[in-house]
A and B are shown apart, each in its own frame.
Chain A
């Protein structure tokens, strides 16, 4: 699918936020992490979010992922209001619709690659087979290994398999390549783009690595709690063409 089509198609947006703010209170100090974010994401979009540390990009991802609550503003996933949702509703939302990938993988060390994926498929509504998910990220032959027996890149791909196995509508990735070298990072990015294309999951990837921007449909840059720039890539590069 072309980038322009993704931007302009008339279907309902996956995410809509308006005037989203977040204030952290750290003792006597108030930290304004988000200062009014208006954002929309459409089905199947691959969005890269750039920005320096403290620009608010992770806070934003946490809020639309149902991990944190905004101080004010509106945030919707499809028809779900994420601002007024109860704790249980947010858990439900994460369980049914969201796939997460983190910088530090967060795999369960006592479960093998396949079992880590099954952890999620067991509680999901329409999961794919764990082996299928691992095949999508190119790890069919490592499925019986424990995390301690896998490289960092492999662990991150297991995390991606775990995130997509539930067939989520959205895939939220916070610095997925942050702990990886270039060659391994590319493999992870290839897995992400492939999943995005084959499953059509709206994918948001946070990174401070500008090299990654070329693989996105859109690039959103955060600065000081605001969206500074939104750029649309006229032509996406394949992940394999990226390096840093």
Chain B
């Protein structure tokens, strides 16, 4: 090993704590990059290969009833590669020991072969026998939560008739990766599952012999989806087609997409923050190291080392720190990335996980880390290394201080000369002070930028469930029923209130933009399920006109008073124009409302309702649930409060995990920045501080000086950190918002307070570590040596 290399390793050992602090910041950068990108790629690849292997359809269509003879016609449509007709129906299930209503989606399998599209991945057991009419394959999670292994049986209310089904096995489908029930926020495997049965059994039960109610379509690669959908809609219109849609509108796919989008957003925001801070830290530390070694540098050059060789020596020092950071970061990124992928897999039903091991991601992370180190180093090395040896060997000119503004006098009067020292020292190296302030501010910002989301989710829950959707449950009918059906519901046991609603699947169009959604008709003075304006005041349904959620209005680019075109997708496909009467708040989904009577007028089918929102007497809930299991007209019951509990549960789990991760990351930054800043300050002012001790300043007073400097940096950093955190949060809101849900941008004061508190704690710890060094200052040595 060459002598310079020995010096390198000894320097590193001597400065291990500072080097480690920097390496950890770099590691955090590399790790978050690999973690985010790795998990994103793993999930994206898992999804892609699952879709590919199980032939996930490209286009989906639901209809009332079409004869199978027209399948050939559909298959002949330009761009269509394969079609799969089937029967899909929502039904209530009755499981032993489960009080609350359970819904299942009944999906038909071809009579005597496996489906060609949306193929099933068999987890356990076998498919139902071709001729069987009471055998069923059950979605894996649903089966597990109810203990439904092969051979078990349960009851389903199929078209009004109670049928006992025998479980033959459990399976997964690319269609139900995220199996969320209608109206639910997230999958609840206790209350919603998928049940596959052979087609003849379902056809007989639903009077669909020789017919189908759902169509899967695979397109030829490169075919225009919009054109295919147009043709399909035209062909299916007279069979009660409800409008074909692509994967974008397929629930499971859309949720998965939203999740991937969030992951991508995360891996774009965090890593650069860490790497920028790491570059600052390298610069700070190396600048000081080089200043201290000025004479050695002169000596090396006098001995015949070239400027470049000396420069390389210091860049290598930074690179060595980067290598340590890289190793920690790559390993942590690898492990955490796998962990995160597995965590995601808990929410998504994949038969297998593909862990992305894209070497490019690791190479980019390693390269970015190294680049941050070298960039920081080059700037530090520039100053001294290229001085002529004689100049370098001479001590540097004494630091020239300036008076800064007139306030110094004021500081002196109120806090003493020691405070003046701190203030002048801070302003003497403005770049270092500024980068330290920025570093601490970024620690605060990382926290504000992550902790805000929990408050926002609570806010969203509060608005959605306690001010808007205040019903305990929603009963959805399989088909629209006369308004009198509401009275029948009203008379069920334990119902306190019932408010009917009408829902129709429509396309809303403005100009060239259109969206597919359920248009809801509500009673004018609905009180259970309310629609709120931006100030959260309830909005009465306008006599005529449509009410749009803000996110929908933004997508359609319409304002109050504009006209939008509504095209009905189920039923007679009528088209009508309606004026936007109001724009409302709403975080979940794209929503549109009309007055129920006005909507029924427009639809021209008389007074129909699609279901009712209900308020339940909690003491009679069990009675009600038992009764609901036998209501033939009900096909799905959304339990808002149960959904909320499930949602809260999941959020709580995630919060603990996320808070741990982000607090760790922020603590690494805060500690790294403050520790380095303090050590460098101490190294520069050690002599002055020792002089003060000699003059009779106590340890506490001398520590107070340095700690005061740190305190000033940290204090100035707070508001800056809040502002940057606000920016990060705003960027994340943009990155996280999808058409499925919009995250309300709401940062409570407590978020700023917690962020500051945590960073101040981390600061205090590193300050204490440095304080021990102040206490050990060698008073006599200082007096005997020249700076």
Q: Which residues of A contact B (CB under 8 A)?
A: 58, 62, 67-68, 87-88, 91-96, 98, 100, 102-104, 106-112, 115-116, 118-120, 122-123, 146-149, 162, 166, 174
Contacts and interface: CB of A to CB of B under 8 A. Distances in A.
Nearest to A109: B399
A201 to B, nearest CB: 15
B696 interface: yes
B785 A104 contact: yes
B695 A162 contact: yes
Contacts of A115: 412, 417, 420
B691 A106 contact: yes
Contacts of A92: 696
A146 B400 contact: yes
B694 A94 contact: yes
Contacts of B780: 62, 67-68
A93 B421 CA distance: 24
A122 B421 CA distance: 14
Interface in B408-441: 412, 416-418, 420-421, 424-425, 428
Given A67-B779, A88-B698, A115-B420, A108 B691 contact: yes
Nearest to B697: A123
Nearest to A149: B400
- Most A CB atoms within 10 A — which of B399, B420, B425, B694? B694
B400 A120 contact: no
B706 to A, nearest CB: 13
A118 B416 CA distance: 8
B288 interface: no
A120 B693 CA distance: 11
Contacts of B418: 119
Nearest to A108: B688
A130 to B, nearest CB: 10
B727 to A, nearest CB: 35
Contacts, number: 94
Nearest to B785: A104
Interface of B: 397-403, 412, 416-418, 420-421, 424-425, 428, 687-688, 691-699, 701, 779-780, 782-787
A110 B421 contact: yes
A62 B782 CA distance: 13
Contacts of B694: 67, 94, 100, 106
Nearest to A112: B403
Contacts of A58: 784
A107 B400 CA distance: 13
A147 B696 contact: no
Contacts of A93: 696
A116 B400 CA distance: 15
Contacts of A118: 412, 417
Nearest to B423: A110
- Most A CB atoms within 10 A — which of B425, B687, B698, B701? B698
Contacts of B687: 106
Contacts of A148: 397-401
A111 B421 contact: yes
A112 B412 CA distance: 12
A108 B786 contact: no
B412 A120 contact: no
Contacts of A122: 416-417
The 8 closest A-B pairs by CB, nearest first: A95-B696, A110-B424, A106-B691, A94-B696, A148-B398, A119-B417, A110-B401, A148-B400
Contact of B424 (A62, A68, A111): A111
A110 B425 contact: yes
Contacts of B398: 109, 147-148
Contacts of B696: 91-96, 98, 120, 123, 166
B783 A106 contact: yes
B194 to A, nearest CB: 73
Contact of B401 (A62, A91, A109, A166): A109
Contact of B417 (A62, A68, A96, A111): A111
B420 A111 contact: yes
Contacts of B417: 111, 115-116, 118-119, 122
Nearest to B401: A110
B695 A110 contact: no
A167 to B, nearest CB: 13
A108 B421 contact: yes
B688 A109 contact: yes
Contacts of B399: 109-110, 148
- Most B CB atoms within 10 A — which of A100, A104, A166? A104
Given A92-B696, A106-B694, 7 more contacts: A67-B779, A110-B428, A111-B401, A115-B417, A120-B695, A149-B400, A174-B783
A88 B698 CA distance: 7
Nearest to A105: B691
Contact of A119 (B695, B698, B699, B783): B695
Contacts of B695: 94-95, 100, 119-120, 162
